[in-house]
């Protein structure tokens, strides 16, 4: 068991080391986009399925509450939080549109939309990115592996260099934390 734990830590470290080599420019682009969004009174809208839904809520909470500094709240919303909206949309229209319909209702000029999918193949996440682009909103995709359809749709895509869901999710939350810290530092 000790060797397995060591191997898992090393695998996670290797993914992050590869991101360190290849992802910094994308993280800077994402951060600058979000800083500009907040400066223009926009909000960050996040969504994903399963663990990516949790990551969306986690990152939204960091912007609204605080990351490291006590400061004014920054507007962010996770589209995964309202079970009544999610279940009514899934029941009435189908699961593919649960995020797109919310983007249609809540998205406004200067907002940044962040779709999270470990594979990039989540149809409802891709559908929402398409809706956001149709509305002229800036879009970000956090994904992994080859990025699937999602990576091709977003204005800025960051593909975590792994096909292991757990390693991708660990990297996504690290990326989210880095962005939150940089945004907070720039605006506060």
Predicted pLDDT of residue 79: 98
The string of pLDDT tens digits covering residues 123-152 is 999 999 999 999 999 999 999 999 999 999
pLDDT in tens, 21-32: 999 999 999 999
Separation between Cα atoms, residue 47 and residue 54, nearest integer Å: 9
d(Cα 121, Cα 143) in Å, to the nearest integer? 9
Parts of the chain with a pLDDT under 70? none
Task: State the CB neighbour count (10 A cutoff) for residue 153.
Answer: 21
Domain formed by 2-187, architecture = 3-Layer(aba) Sandwich (3.40)
What global pTM score does this model have? 0.97
CB 109 within 8 A of CB 45: no
Predicted local confidence at residue 125, as pLDDT: 98
CA–CA dist 158, 24 (Å, integer): 10
Question: CA-CA distances (angstroms) from residue 70 to 52, 128, 183, 186?
Answer: 26, 32, 13, 14
């Amino acid at each position: 068991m000790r060797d397995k734990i060591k191997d898992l830590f090393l695998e996670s470290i290797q993914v992050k080391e590869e991101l360190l080599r290849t992802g910094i420019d994308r993280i800077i682009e994402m951060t600058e986009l979000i800083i500009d969004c907040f400066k223009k009174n926009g909000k960050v809208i996040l969504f994903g399925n399963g663990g990516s839904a949790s990551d969306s809520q986690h990152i939204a909470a960091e912007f609204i509450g605080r990351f490291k500094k006590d400061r004014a709240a920054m507007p962010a919303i996770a589209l995964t939080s309202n079970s009544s909206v999610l279940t009514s949309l899934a029941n009435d229209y189908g699961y593919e549109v649960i995020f797109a319909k919310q983007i249609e209702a809540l998205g406004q000029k200067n907002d940044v939309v962040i779709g999270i999918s470990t594979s990039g193949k989540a149809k409802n996440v891709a559908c929402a990115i398409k809706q956001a682009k149709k509305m002229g909103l800036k879009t970000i995709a956090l994904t992994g592996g080859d990025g699937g359809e999602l990576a091709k749709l977003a204005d800025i895509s960051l593909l975590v260099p792994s096909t292991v869901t757990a390693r991708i999710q660990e990297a996504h939350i690290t990326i989210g934390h880095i962005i939150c810290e940089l945004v907070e530092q720039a605006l506060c």
